[in-house]
Structure 1
């Protein structure tokens, strides 16, 4: 046995080291980190909330509908009012203070004590198209609520250093009043006073609908929904891709660098109503065939724009790159009196034109308007083109895009059974409009896309895999953690490291 003078001294942990280890264990537990050999919320990557509960809530919200056997939930409809109560209860469950503003937007906010920082807003829309799927809009709302609920159960909600707010916007699709972003434009402060007199198909004005739902329905009241730009630091939106790119790349998440500009038109064609069996073909002023020719003309214009442009309309921006995002759609066509044995007296149809390049979009709108008048003249019918909506292309903030990209990359690398490398997060352009376009008038924006099956959207066939819902929620949780949670945990861990170093020295 070695002499006692040669044996290494037996060190007992000093009180400082014991305290340091205890602090570290408490911090790890509060943060939801997995303990050695265990799973728990952190070890399971918060699966129960970010996947299982989120998917269940998506299904629950998807059943709240005005349609009989299909999903339809438009601006301040009865189903929308029922959905409001459900969403408010979920926000409260996540520890948020809730209210509904004068445009029907639902807000859930956590306000740190004595915070002087500007707010992080996260949102999407609660309204749907007719015969919709359950993910469009709802995914962004519920994923955000779930991410904040995880912050609550891990104790991080109380360590936020900036306000974080989830907004469920009342109208993005524009189905009821044929004007998009009623909810987010109110928050951004860009709604014109005349908006109150816009009417739906039944002739009911927006003002009437607001009054019927106990809102003040005045321009002054609506202006109260507007946020002060100085109080908002950024807006982030999670949304299903509504396209096939992420699925083709075998990747669950992608970040968005920009949103295409959009113009909505309504074309009204007036002819001579008559008997289908008695009016000779050569003497007809048939608005239906004129409308059919205009629809085909629009398709050709958007497939081969240079072939129909005049010299004055041509521009240097019509390169292959600038035309890449150009799409045109006729989605609605109505006839009067719409009887099989009657030559229609009037036909009207909607036109949706989108492009990443605003100059391209505006040139297509001008060219199509010219062609409408020209071809209607040739067919001896009267035509009118009404501009219903126009929004410029929107670019996402590069810094937010980088932060979302990092959050997505760290998420995908941590997901169980991943089959893609962590460094491959795709960067996409969005051909669909989103509330982020309206919010860009208020603050800088960022968007995260989630893979969907077949790129199908605006359809009951919409489908997002449960694990991709999980990935989206975890990425958003990571993003909030990086951008709004205090550094106390890191500071505590640094204290522990210093204490151990001192004890060992």
Structure 2
């Protein structure tokens, strides 16, 4: 960031900032960002590509002495925790900036009982509730937020184009389900007398899969609005159990407690809530039948977000310009996509209008070591951000 001529600092949530003042520092600022963190066993492009693209574009303007000609301040933010892997709560960095992170988030523990506040303190960052509130940006000082991100899907690759424009981001709910039964000896407790938390959890997970594959078999909806909701659900609803653990986790012991996570995403917020309501009811029925207890906790909630039409139009022009620079040919249009993955733009939408560019990734693979973006497509992403910034001169 400093090599790109930016003033830098790290805030109390570990976000890294770089700011160019422009020719009028009193103007509302444009924020560009993405996240530094990634998931376990991941690739190198998810999040980082958006940060590097923005810094690279600003470095071009710095070298060409155009940076100080920007009509508004430009700030790049490398957010500290978007994925929510360690603390099971996403958007810690961007939610703090947008003012929607509760003070209670500082006391969220990881699996070892270490809290967010502990981790920050171990890295020489002291933060209190007042300090967290102080991180929030004034909405009146912000013009908009832009993010470049790998698609994490196969649409752009199938279209044969490096860049696309995001029109909206699916809403998301994360649940933690704890099933408690009766721990016992694997060889002495008859099958008819068991309260097996793992077997109950397995039935709950299969229920989730059935519900999300065929929501129309579970939800009885009437009317035009409800039918529209069902169509949206059928096209966008995805549900995942990504983590499961049991206690005492021994091969010759009936598990007394089993915990698993649920990730539910859909473009229709009302439909997503209807699925969660039906899922919860049916889960409790199964647990009652199996004589086990079931606790369902909501760990994360984010409504679907629509991208700003004006920003999207500007980003589309920038993407078309970038693709022309690379190929030398005029590209008639850029694909417009919905995002099933969550992004920092979701948190930032509470602060300001948002826009996003997607970048092609090989095979649509992400959250994997096989995640890959070609050098040419990295180049395209940087050129698109540069073209967008040039419109701010």
Distance 1:355 1:296 in 2: 19
Q: CA deviation at 1:438?
A: 0.2
The Cα offsets for residues 222-253 of structure 1, whole Å up to 9 and x where unpaired, read as 12211000110000000000000000111100
- Contact kept, 8 Å, 1:141 with 1:166, in 2: the verdict is yes
- Contact kept, 8 Å, 2:179 with 2:295, in 1: the verdict is yes
Distance 1:154 1:113 in 2: 15
Q: CA deviation at 1:311?
A: 6.9
1:206 aligned to which of 96, 116, 129:
116
Question: Counterpart of 1:319 in 2: which secondary structure?
Answer: helix
> Within 5 Å, which residues of 2 pair with 1:77-226?
91-226=1-136
What is the aligned partner in structure 1 of residue 194 from structure 2? 284
Q: Is residue 2:236 matched to residue 1:325?
A: yes
Q: Is residue 2:243 matched to residue 1:340?
A: no
> Which residues of structure 2 form unaligned runs of 5+?
none
Q: Is residue 2:156 matched to residue 1:246?
A: yes
What is the aligned partner in structure 1 of residue 379 from structure 2? 470
Q: CA deviation at 1:114?
A: 4.1
Q: Is residue 2:293 matched to residue 1:382?
A: yes
What is the aligned partner in structure 1 of residue 363 from structure 2? 454
Question: Counterpart of 1:318 in 2: which secondary structure?
Answer: helix
Which stretch of structure 1 is more off in the superposition, 103-112 or 217-226? 217-226
Distance 2:149 2:349 in 1: 16
Distance 1:346 1:322 in 2: 32
Question: Counterpart of 2:137 in 1: which secondary structure?
Answer: coil
Residues 311, 153 of structure 1: alpha-carbon distance in 2 compared, 3 angstrom cutoff:
closer
What is the aligned partner in structure 2 of residue 7 from structure 1? none
Question: Counterpart of 1:285 in 2: which secondary structure?
Answer: coil
Question: Counterpart of 2:182 in 1: which secondary structure?
Answer: coil
- Contact kept, 8 Å, 1:328 with 1:354, in 2: the verdict is yes
Q: CA deviation at 1:197?
A: 1.5
The Cα offsets for residues 306-338 of structure 1, whole Å up to 9 and x where unpaired, read as 2123679x9444332443111000000001111
Which stretch of structure 1 is more off in the superposition, 186-195 or 251-260? 186-195
Q: Which is bigger in relative contact order (C-alpha 8 A, separation at least 6)?
A: 2
Distance 2:341 2:99 in 1: 22
Q: CA deviation at 1:417?
A: 6.7
- Contact kept, 8 Å, 1:317 with 1:359, in 2: the verdict is no
TM-score, structure 1 as length reference: 0.76
What is the aligned partner in structure 1 of residue 336 from structure 2? 427
Q: CA deviation at 1:437?
A: 0.1
2:262 aligned to which of 351, 355, 370:
351
Question: Counterpart of 1:264 in 2: which secondary structure?
Answer: strand
Distance 1:417 1:284 in 2: 69
TM-score, structure 2 as length reference: 0.97
The Cα offsets for residues 261-285 of structure 1, whole Å up to 9 and x where unpaired, read as 0000001000111111111111110
What is the aligned partner in structure 1 of residue 274 from structure 2? 363
> Which one has the bigger strand percentage?
2
Q: CA deviation at 1:424?
A: 2.4
Q: CA deviation at 1:211?
A: 1.7
RMSD: 1.4
The Cα offsets for residues 176-196 of structure 1, whole Å up to 9 and x where unpaired, read as 110000000000011111111
